[in-house]
Amino acid sequence: MNRASLIFGALLLIVLPLSLLAGRVWIDPFDVAGSGSNAALILMELRLPRAALAVIIGAGLGAAGASMQGYLRNPLADPGLFGIAPMAALGAVASFWFGFSSAWALPVAALTGAALGMGMLAVIAGRTGGIALFTLAGLMIASLAGALTALAITLSPNAFAMSEIVMWLNGALTDRSWSEVWLAAPLVAVGMAVLMIAARSLDALTLGDEAARSMGINSGALLWLLIVGVGLTVGVSVAVAGIIGFVGLIVPHLVRPLTDRLPSSLILPSALAGALLVLIADCAVRILPLVTELRLGIALSLIGAPFFLWLLLKMRRGLV
């Protein structure tokens, strides 16, 4: 475990219990029983699953972002480039559209969409393992999924369904329960394990595709690992929380200076830092004094977009 993992791991251990106390109702840590009869219930049934989900989703998105940047050798790469998140969103929107939005139907539909996106990527770009074809295929899938999602919104059967779809697309952890945690945890764990397997191959890609292949890296197998690893982490994240952008883009940048900059050194600390970022952002949207809770996806975009601009300016000056 490297220094960055220790730092973000320690911060997560500090912030996680504190986050459970924050919200519209503040909980006294020294008097949970006396804070009112609902305190323990709020903690166990609302805050804890929500925090667990923030950690799981953030970790998956952070690890996926670090892996994607390593694979594409581009600090501006984002897991969204795969088109898997928009496909998962399309699956979820379809379940709203057809009126199947129960606790299990929605995430299962979103996971089906993610799996379809992964399958399309594999069919189009999987045989050659070429990065250019892969990126273009991802963009095409994202564009198609975006268009179909917009079509579904336009043709919503009623105003309530349209409002539900739009709210859901904005991403949130509000009202999530243990059932989402049990669905997300194993799938994200498998996805992250797959990305960890790919880590050393991503290191080899630092010296280019030809050099990596000459070092024994099988580029086709690596592409499959990336599709499965990113597909699971990002697909599950969309399935249980909607679209939560920018985490996969921002986090590797924050972490990279604290590591030796090899992709393999970045995946675990990016997972920990991603968990931390989503956890803090979710606390912030809970305690902001707004009439309705700010959607987590919007909050992270509000943080992420200026960060992205700052990054572009920094790159223009040749500092990245």
Residues that bind other proteins (CB under 8 A): 73, 200, 203-208, 210-211, 213-218, 256, 260-263
Q: How far is the CB of 254 from other proteins (least distance, A)?
A: 15
Euclidean distance between CA atoms 98 and 94, whole angstroms: 6
Is the distance from CB of 69 to CB of 62 less than 8 angstroms?
no
CB of 294 to other proteins, least distance (A): 35
Q: Which is nearer to other proteins, 89 or 266 (CB)?
A: 266
CB of 303 to other proteins, least distance (A): 25
> Roughly what angle, to the nearest 10 degrees, separates helices 131-154 and 105-125?
140
Residues across the chain: 320
Q: Please name the residues in contact with 26: beta carbons below 8 A apart, sequence gap of 6 or more.
A: none
Alpha carbon distance 314, 32 (integer Å):
47
Nearer to other proteins, 69 or 301 (CB): 69
Q: Rounded to the nearest whole angstrom, what is the least distance from the CB of residue 67 to other proteins in the complex?
A: 13
Alpha helices, H only, the chain:
3-21, 39-41, 48-72, 84-97, 105-125, 131-154, 159-169, 178-205, 209-214, 219-241, 247-255, 263-287, 296-316
CA distance 100 to 229: 27
CB of 263 to other proteins, least distance (A): 7
Residue 73 or 293 with smaller CB distance to other proteins: 73
Closest distance of CB 70 from other proteins, Å: 8
Q: Which is nearer to other proteins, 176 or 256 (CB)?
A: 256
**DSSP label of 93:** H
Instruction: Please identify, using beta-carbon distances, which residue of 54 and 254 lies nearer to other proteins.
Output: 254
Which CB atom, from 70 or from 86, has the smaller least distance to other proteins? 70
The distance between the two most distant Cα atoms of the chain, rounded to a whole number of Å, is 65
